[in-house]
Structure 1
Amino acid sequence: MRLSLLILLSLQLLNPIISLSPDGLSLLALKSAIDPSSDHSTFSDWKEEDENPCQWSGVSCMNVSGFLYPRVVGIALSGKNLTGYIPSELGTLIFLRRLNLHGNNFHGSIPVLLFKAISLHSVFLYGNNLTGEFPVSICKLPRLQNLDLSMNGFSGKIGEELGKCTQLQRLILAGNKFSGEISEGVLSKLENLVQLDLSSNGFTGTIPEDLGELKSLSEVTLNLSYNHFSGNIPRSLGKLPVSVNLDLRNNNLSGEIPQSGYFSNQGPTAFLNNPLLCGFPLQKPCKNSAQNSLGGSRNSKKGLKPSVIILISVADAAGVALIGLIIIYIYWKKKDSNTCSCTGKTKLGGEKSMKICSICFCPCINGFLSNESEDIDMDPEKGDGERRGGGEGGLVAIDKGFSFELDELLRASAYVLGKSGLGIVYKVVLGNGVPVAVRRLGEGGEQRYKEFTAEIQAIGRVKHPNIVRLRAYYWAQDEKLLISDFISNGNLANALHGRNGQPTTSLSWSARLRIAKGAAHGLAYLHECSPRKFVHGDVKPSNILIDGEYHPSVSDFGLNRLISITGSDPASSSGFIGGAFPYVKPVQHERTNNYRAPEARLLDGRPTQKWDVYSFGVVLLELLTGKSPDYSSPTTSSEIEVSDLVRWVRKGFKEENPLSDMVDQLLLQEIHVKKEVLAMFHVALSCTEVDPETRPRMKTVSENLDRIGA
Structure 2
Amino acid sequence: MGRGKLGTTYKAMLETGSTVVVKRLKDMNGLSKKEFFQQMQLLGRLSHPNLVEIISFYYSQDEKLVVYEYLPNGSLFDLLHGNRGPGRVPLQWEDRLRMAKGIAKGLAYLHQACSSHRLPHANLKSSNILLAPDYTPKLTDHGFDPLLPSRRAFDKLAASKAPENAKSKRLTNKTDVWCFGIVLLELISGRVPGQFTLGNEISSEDDLPEWVRSVVNEDWSTDILDLEILNAKNGHGEMLKLTQIALDCTVSALEKRPKMAEVVKRIEEIQEGKEGEGEAQDQAQSRSRGGQGSQQ
- What TM-score does the superposition give when structure 2 sets the normalisation length? 0.79
2:165 to 600, 604, 619: 600
Please tell me the residue identity of whatever aligns with 2:183: V
Residue 504 of structure 1: how far off its partner (Å): 4.8
Match for residue 555 of structure 1 among 140, 146, 153: 140
CA contact (8 A) 1:436 1:486 kept: yes
User: What is the Cα deviation at residue 536 of structure 1?
Assistant: 1.0
Separation of aligned partners in 1, 2:91 and 2:175: 27
CA displacement at 1:706 relative to structure 2? 1.1
One-letter identity of the residue aligned with 2:191? K
Distance 2:45 2:94 in 1: 31
- C-alpha offsets along residues 56-98 of structure 1, whole Å, 9 cap, x if unaligned? xxxxxxxxxxxxxxxxxxxxxxxxxxxxxxxxxxxxxxxxxxx
Q: Is the 8 A contact 1:495 1:504 kept in 2?
A: no
Q: Is it true that 1:663 corresponds to 2:247 in the alignment?
A: no
Alignment of 1:104-253 (within 5 A): none
The one of 499, 509, 524 equivalent to 2:93 is: 509
State how far apart, in whole Å, the 2-side matches of 1:613 and 1:531 are. 14
Residue 709 (structure 1) aligns with: 271
How far apart, in 1, do the equivalents of 2:38 and 2:160 lie? Answer: 29
| CA distance 1:481–1:600, shift in 2 (3 Å) | same
Question: Does residue 541 of the first structure (1) align with residue 104 of the second (2)?
Answer: no
Verify the 8 A CA contact 2:193 2:205 in the aligned structure 1.
Answer: no
2:237 to 665, 670, 675: 675
Query: SS of the residue aligned with 2:22?
Result: strand
Cα distance in structure 1, aligned partners of 2:48 and 2:107: 10
Give CA-to-partner distance per residue, 1:355-388, whole Å, 9 cap, x none: xxxxxxxxxxxxxxxxxxxxxxxxxxxxxxxxxx
Aligned to 2:21: 437
Letter in 1 for 2:186: E
Where does residue 194 of structure 2 map in the other structure? 630
**Kindly tell me: are residues 665 and 594 of structure 1, through their superposed partners in 2, closer, same or farther at Cα, counting changes over 3 Å?**
farther
> 1:511–1:448: structure 2 CA closer, same or farther, 3 Å change rule?
same
Aligned-partner residue type, residue 107 of structure 2: L
Give the alignment of 1:134-533 within 5 angstroms.
417-442=1-26, 445=29, 448-498=32-82, 504-530=88-114, 532=116
Identify, as 1 or 2, the structure richer in helix: 2
Please give the alpha-carbon distance, in whole angstroms, between the structure 2 residues aligned to 1:447 and 1:654.
Answer: 47
- Please tell me the residue identity of whatever aligns with 1:599: E
Could you say what secondary structure the match of 2:161 adopts? coil
SS of aligned partner of 2:149: helix
Structure 1 counterpart of 2:100, one-letter code = A
Q: Structure 2: how far apart are the matches of 1:595 and 1:479?
A: 25
Contact 1:514 1:550 in 2 (8 A): no
Structure 1 pair 690/563, CA: closer, same or farther in 2 (3 Å)? closer
2: distance between equivalents of 1:447 and 1:625? 40
Q: Residue 428 of structure 1 aligns to a residue in which SS?
A: strand
Please tell me the residue identity of whatever aligns with 1:526: L
1:298-348 CA-partner distances (Å, limit 9, x unpaired):
xxxxxxxxxxxxxxxxxxxxxxxxxxxxxxxxxxxxxxxxxxxxxxxxxxx
Instruction: Say if 1:687 and 1:696, in contact at 8 Å, map to a contact too.
Output: yes
Pair 523,443 (structure 1): closer, same or farther in 2 beyond 3 Å: closer
CA RMSD of aligned residues (A): 2.8
Task: Measure, in 1, the Cα distance between the counterparts of 2:174 and 2:62.
Answer: 36
Residue 437 of structure 1: SS of its match in structure 2? strand
8 A Cα contact 2:130 2:140, kept in partner: yes
Secondary structure at the aligned position of 2:175 is classed as helix
How far is 1:448 from its partner? 1.0
Query: For 2:261 and 2:9, how far apart are their aligned partners in 1?
Result: 30
Query: Alpha-carbon deviations, 1:571-596, whole Å to 9, x = none?
Result: xxxxxxxxxxxxxxxxxx97x96983
Counterpart of 1:555 in structure 2: which amino acid?
A: T
Equivalent residue of 1:611, what SS? helix
In structure 1, what residue type is equivalent to 2:166?
R
Report deviation, 1:686.
0.8
Identity of aligned residues (%): 37
Residues 456, 617 of structure 1: CA spacing in aligned structure 2 closer, same or farther, 3 A cutoff?
Answer: same
- Give, in angstroms, the shift of residue 631 of structure 1: 5.5
The answer to whether the 8 A contact 1:461-1:531 is kept is no
CA deviation vs aligned residue, 1:266-321 (integer Å, no higher than 9, x gap): xxxxxxxxxxxxxxxxxxxxxxxxxxxxxxxxxxxxxxxxxxxxxxxxxxxxxxxx
Distance 2:38 2:223 in 1: 50
CA, structure 1 residues 505+547, in 2 after alignment: closer, same or farther (shift >3 Å)?
A: farther
Query: What is aligned with 1:650?
Result: 213
**Matched position secondary structure for 2:8:** strand
Q: CA 1:431–1:531 in 2, change beyond 3 Å: closer, same or farther?
A: farther
For residue 472 of structure 1, give the secondary structure of its aligned residue in structure 2. strand
1:700 aligns to 2:262 (yes or no): yes
- Superposed CA offset, 1:657-677 (max 9, x none): 52x211111002221112211
- Residues 595 and 619 in structure 1, CA contact (< 8 A), matched pair in contact too: no
Alignment partner, residue 201 of structure 2: none
Query: TM (normalized to structure 1)?
Result: 0.34
Is the CA contact (8 Å cut-off) linking 1:617 and 1:683 kept in structure 2?
A: yes
CA contact (8 A) 1:440 1:481 kept: yes
- Structure number, greater radius of gyration: 1
Deviation, 1:642, is: 7.2
Matched residue of 2:241: which SS?
Answer: helix
Distance 1:504 1:453 in 2: 43
